[in-house]
């Protein structure tokens, strides 16, 4: 691909020395790292929560200070130059050294410290959160920063210590663990069934009301594919980007929506709609291997993995189990009904969603 808009940078008369290094802004280097990781000014701007013009201006300032062109500007992004590759290698070592220093200074879990966990909205709010009292009792000096969002979080650049997500990470330098599988099944409330009845077949479903969730990490084409239609616009009663809104809409009888199969055994006031369709999503844990050097983070990672034990929580098994079969008395609930209700504002209704 041809290069465009190449910005000339003056060659330095002398190599980079200590005086120049002292003038370089670490903040500018971090923005350089963001661009180098994403190979896109736009994506780096999103990650850094800044404008693209700010990113471009700061990178150009860094290039001027170094007397080097760090990136080749391409039609669909940027590419590191040979000089940029060398600067990136050094800056990455500096970043790792910073993480190592954190690990050295944060070895005693009896001192107050933070674990930052990025997780999808529903799993964070309605699966991890009800268990956190148990973790806090065992680790009273660890503050859990629970970042609940359907947007991905840059674990590689330590925006979070670990992430639990529904999309397999594509960074080879990250540690990846498949925690389990989320099985999605059509559900409706009793109120909806009493008002509209329930579909018996896929063809019947095309005449019912659908609650559609669209968000990052979700396959927006799953409903058209399952129903065998080009789009579902003609049957959508509500579309939302939030898992909580999606669940409440189903529970309140606005329509039929796809919920995890564990919604039923965890007390949700919905019933499965058996029309022969289902969907599945793998649950991934990802983190940089360096964070396991911080004892409190290592403890939290091991604790999170225990919450997805398929022997204890069969709804996370690879094989599909019908929601009604998950109601067996032997299935252990993750928390008491009262504790589940306490984490949700408003009426005491148990809610468990993606």
Q: Is 328 left (phi over 0), alpha (psi -120 to 50) or beta?
A: beta
Q: Quick one: pLDDT at residue 157?
A: 52
Residue 172 sits in the same domain as residue 257: yes
Residue 338 sits in the same domain as residue 259: yes
With respect to residue 28, please indicate whether it lies within any of the assigned structural domains. yes
- Domain closes at, from 52, 72, 105: 105
With respect to residue 231, please indicate whether it lies within any of the assigned structural domains. yes
Report whether 62 contacts 44 (CB < 8 A).
Answer: no
User: How many other CB atoms are found less than 10 A from the CB of residue 316?
Assistant: 21
Report whether 261 contacts 181 (CB < 8 A).
Answer: no
- Domain closes at, from 64, 87, 105: 105
Torsion sign (Cα): 339, 344, 349, 350: negative
Q: Which two tokens stand for residue 347?
A: 């009426």
Residue 131 sits in the same domain as residue 83: no
How many CA atoms are closer than 13 Å to the CA of 71, on its beta-carbon side? 27
pTM above 0.75, yes or no: no
Q: How far apart are CA 241 and CA 261, in angstroms?
A: 20
- Domain closes at, from 82, 105, 128: 105
- Profile the chain (354 residues) by mean pLDDT over runs of 10 residues: 48 48 73 86 81 90 88 89 88 74 67 88 88 92 88 61 87 85 96 96 95 85 92 93 92 95 88 95 89 88 95 95 79 43 36 39
Residue 135 sits in the same domain as residue 51: no
Q: Could you tell me where the beta strands, DSSP code E, fall in the chain?
A: 71-74, 77-80, 113-119, 142-148, 162-165, 175-188, 210-213, 236-240, 257-260, 271-272, 279-287
Q: Quick one: pLDDT at residue 202?
A: 96
Residue 157 sits in the same domain as residue 271: yes
Residue positions counted in the chain: 354
Residue 290 sits in the same domain as residue 222: yes
Residue 54 sits in the same domain as residue 188: no
Strand, helix or coil for residue 237: strand
What is the bridge-based pairing of β-strands 257-260 and 236-240?
unpaired
**Among candidates 176, 197, 204, which has minimal Cα distance to 275?**
204
Q: Map tokens 């039609």 to a residue.
A: 75
Residue 181 sits in the same domain as residue 296: yes
Q: Write the CATH number for 44.
A: 1.10.10.10
Q: Write the CATH number for 241.
A: 3.40.190.290
Q: Quick one: pLDDT at residue 93?
A: 78
Number of domains in the chain: 2
Residue 200 sits in the same domain as residue 70: no
Domain that holds residue 178: 113-354
With respect to residue 326, please indicate whether it lies within any of the assigned structural domains. yes
Measured in degrees and rounded to the nearest 5, phi and psi for residue 38 equal -95, -20
Residue 169 sits in the same domain as residue 100: no
- What residues form DSSP beta bridges with 291? none
Q: Quick one: pLDDT at residue 20?
A: 54
Report whether 32 contacts 70 (CB < 8 A).
Answer: yes
């Amino acid at each position: 691909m041809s290069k465009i808009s190449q910005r000339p940078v003056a060659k330095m008369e002398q190599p980079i020395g200590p005086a120049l290094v002292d003038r370089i802004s670490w903040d500018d280097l971090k923005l350089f790292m963001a661009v180098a990781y994403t190979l896109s000014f736009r994506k780096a701007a999103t990650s850094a929560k800044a404008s693209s013009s700010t990113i471009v201006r700061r990178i150009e300032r860094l290039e001027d200070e170094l007397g080097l062109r760090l990136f080749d500007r391409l039609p669909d992004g940027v590419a590191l130059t040979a000089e940029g590759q060398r600067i990136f290698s050094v800056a990455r070592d500096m970043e790792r050294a910073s993480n190592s220093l954190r690990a050295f200074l944060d070895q005693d879990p009896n001192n107050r410290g933070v674990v930052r966990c990025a997780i999808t909205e529903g799993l964070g709010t309605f699966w991890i959160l009800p268990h956190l009292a148990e973790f806090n009792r065992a680790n009273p000096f660890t503050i859990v920063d629970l970042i609940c969002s359907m947007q991905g979080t840059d674990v590689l650049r330590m925006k979070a210590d670990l992430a639990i997500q529904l999309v397999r990470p594509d960074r080879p330098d990250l540690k990846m663990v498949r925690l389990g599988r989320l099985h999605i099944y059509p559900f409706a409330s009793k109120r909806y069934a009493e008002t509209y009845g329930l579909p018996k077949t896929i063809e019947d479903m095309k005449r019912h009301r659908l609650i559609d969730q669209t968000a990052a990490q979700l396959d927006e084409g799953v409903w058209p594919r399952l129903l065998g239609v080009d789009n579902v616009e003609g049957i959508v009663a509500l579309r939302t980007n939030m898992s909580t809104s999606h669940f409440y809409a189903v529970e309140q009888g606005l329509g039929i929506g796809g919920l995890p199969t564990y919604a039923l055994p965890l007390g949700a006031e919905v019933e499965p709609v058996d029309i022969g369709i289902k969907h599945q999503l793998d649950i991934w844990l990802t983190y940089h291997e360096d964070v396991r050097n911080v004892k409190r983070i290592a403890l939290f990672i091991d604790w999170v993995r225990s919450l997805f034990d398929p022997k204890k929580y069969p709804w996370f098994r690879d094989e599909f189990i019908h929601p009604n079969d998950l109601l067996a008395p032997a299935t252990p609930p993750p928390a008491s009904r009262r504790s589940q209700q306490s984490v949700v504002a408003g009426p005491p209704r148990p809610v468990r969603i993606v």
